[in-house]
């Protein structure tokens, strides 16, 4: 059973991320949507690397925050609520030097005032690069 407010959520309805956003600037793209998960990829390139030529941990956090926040947006009734990031943590377990990293976002908790998301980021070889947890506050619109 789908967790999404719009039960017909699909990749075409999710495109694009929006002009002049961090997601657009970093080259993030939707990959997949399922009944209880989202997938998004991001290139490992000059926009997302740190000086040693490795994927920047902040870029991984930006990917995790983007996919988790948007996941919450797709769960809520956007006419009544907004969602904002409350807390994020990340464990960077392996480096990435090129190609793409792909984030898979699944819910750990979908409450009325908070959502908690598990985000796992893998490289092109399916090796785990980062594990992140994002807590999102659900706020009633004024």
Write the CATH number for 107.
3.10.129.10
Rounded CA gap, 137 and 45, in Å? Answer: 32
Please report which confidence band the pLDDT of residue 19 belongs to, taking 50, 70 and 90 as the band edges.
Answer: confident
112 part of a folded domain: yes
Please report which confidence band the pLDDT of residue 13 belongs to, taking 50, 70 and 90 as the band edges.
Answer: confident
Q: Is 53 exposed, middle or buried (0-12, 13-18, 19+ CB in 10 A)?
A: exposed
35 part of a folded domain: yes
1 part of a folded domain: no
Average model confidence (pLDDT) across the chain: 96
Q: For this structure, is 65 an active site residue?
A: yes
pTM: 0.96
Catalytically annotated residue among 65, 79, 87, 126? 65
Domain count of the fold of the chain:
1
pLDDT digits (tens, 9 = 90+) for 48-102: 999 999 999 999 999 999 999 999 999 999 999 999 999 999 999 999 999 999 9
Determine contact, residues 67/120, Cβ cutoff 8 Å: no
The residue range of the domain holding 120 is 11-140
* Residue 139 to residues 37, 103, 110, 115, 117, Cα–Cα distance (Å): 22, 25, 13, 11, 17
């Amino acid at each position: 059973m789908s967790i999404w407010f719009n039960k017909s959520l699909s990749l075409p309805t999710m495109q694009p991320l929006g002009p002049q956003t961090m997601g657009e600037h970093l080259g993030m793209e939707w990959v997949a949507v399922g009944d209880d998960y989202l997938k998004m990829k991001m290139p490992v390139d000059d926009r997302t690397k740190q000086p040693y030529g490795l994927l920047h941990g902040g870029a991984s956090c930006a990917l995790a925050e983007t996919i988790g926040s948007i996941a919450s947006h797709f769960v809520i009734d956007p006419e009544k609520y907004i969602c904002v990031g409350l807390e994020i943590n990340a464990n960077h377990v392996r480096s990435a030097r090129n190609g793409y990293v792909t984030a898979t976002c699944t819910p750990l908790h979908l409450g009325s005032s908070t959502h908690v998301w598990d985000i796992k980021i893998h490289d092109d070889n399916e090796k785990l690069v980062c594990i992140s947890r994002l807590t999102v506050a659900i706020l009633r619109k004024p």
